[in-house]
Amino acid sequence: MIKDYRDFISEILIPEDVLQERIKQLGSQISEDYRGKNLLLICILRGGVIFLTDLIRSISIPHAIEFMAVSSYGVGKRKTSGDVRITLDLITSIHDRDVLIVEDIIDSGNTIASVLDLLSTRKPKSLNICTLLDKTERREVEIPIKYCGFEIPNKFVFGYGLDIDEYYRNLPFIGVVDLNRYKDNISNGVK
Ligand code: IMP
Ligand code: MG
C-alpha cells in the first residue's frame, strides 16, 4: 500500500489559498507584460501541469500552450544530475514567438538550464521563465527567472504538481516531507 501523505508530512509550507492568491497575481502580471504579444506558455511535464492549468485561467490575454518533458532523477533519488534529456519535444514551432516556460520548481537549475539552451537555438522572439517555487540555496547554475511564485527553503516538498516518486501530485497545497517517516514507501515497493 502507498502511504497516505498524512503519515509523513512534516508541515504544510504553502496552503491552498495562499497558492491560489499568488497565482492570480502572477496571471495578471503576465497579462500586462505580454499584452499585444504572441504568447506561448511551455509547460514542463509533469510537475508543472497543475500550476499551468491554474495560471492560464488567470491570464486574460490570448495565448497558446505547449508541453515538453525532460528526464529527471529516478525513484528514491532527490537530486538531478547535469545530464538532462528531452523525453518529449514540442509539437509546434517557437520561432519568433514570445515563449514563457512554466516550471514547478527550480532547484539546482540543471534541468531548466538545459531547456533554455535547447529552446534558444530555435530562435524564439523572447524566452523567459515562470516558476512556482524557487529553492535558491541549492542553485548550481545561474538562472534568469522572470516570474517566481515563492522562494522556499532547502526542504523536499510535494503536492500541487510536485511528486514524491510520482505520487501525491494531486494535493492542493505544498507540503514538506519528513524523509525518515516516508522511506518505508520505497521499501514497500514503489517503483
Ligand atoms: P533541478 O534540475 O535540480 O533544478 O531540479 C528540477 C526538477 O527536480 C523539478 O522540475 C522537479 O521536478 C524536481 N524537484 C526539485 N526539487 C523538488 C522537490 O522538493 N520536490 C519534488 N520535486 C523536486
Ligand atoms: Mg519532477
Q: pLDDT digits over 172-183, tens only?
A: 999 999 999 998
> Strands, DSSP E only, in the chain?
9-14, 39-45, 64-70, 86-88, 98-106, 126-134, 147-151, 157-158, 174-177
- Top pLDDT among 191 and 87 is at 87
Atom of ligand 1 nearest to the CA of 107: 4
Atom of ligand 1 nearest to the CA of 135: 16
pLDDT over 60 (residue 13): yes
pLDDT over 90 (residue 31): yes
User: Is the CB–ligand 1 distance for residue 168 below 6 Å?
Assistant: no
Q: At 185, is the pLDDT very low, low, confident or very high (cuts 50, 70, 90)? A: confident
Mean of pLDDT over the chain? 92
Residues in the chain: 191
- Compute, in degrees rounded to 10, the torsion defined by CA atoms 30, 14, 8, 171: -50
Q: What is the DSSP letter of 138?
A: G
User: Is the CB–ligand 1 distance for residue 114 below 6 Å?
Assistant: no
Atom of ligand 1 nearest to the CA of 48: 10
Q: At 30, is the pLDDT very low, low, confident or very high (cuts 50, 70, 90)? A: very high
Q: What was the pLDDT predicted at 124?
A: 98
Pocket test for ligand 1, best of 11, 80, 85, 179 (most atoms within 8 A of CB): 80
pLDDT over 50 (residue 160): yes
User: Is the CB–ligand 1 distance for residue 134 below 6 Å?
Assistant: no
pLDDT over 90 (residue 167): yes
Rounded to two decimals, the pTM is: 0.93
User: Is the CB–ligand 1 distance for residue 80 below 6 Å?
Assistant: yes
Q: What was the pLDDT predicted at 71?
A: 83
Gap between the Cα atoms of 120 and 92, Å rounded: 15
Q: Which of 148, 189, 176, 185 is nearest to 4 (CA)?
A: 185
Q: What was the pLDDT predicted at 108?
A: 94
pLDDT over 90 (residue 144): yes
Q: Which residues contact 117 (CB under 8 A, 6 or more apart)?
A: none
Q: Known catalytic residues?
A: 107
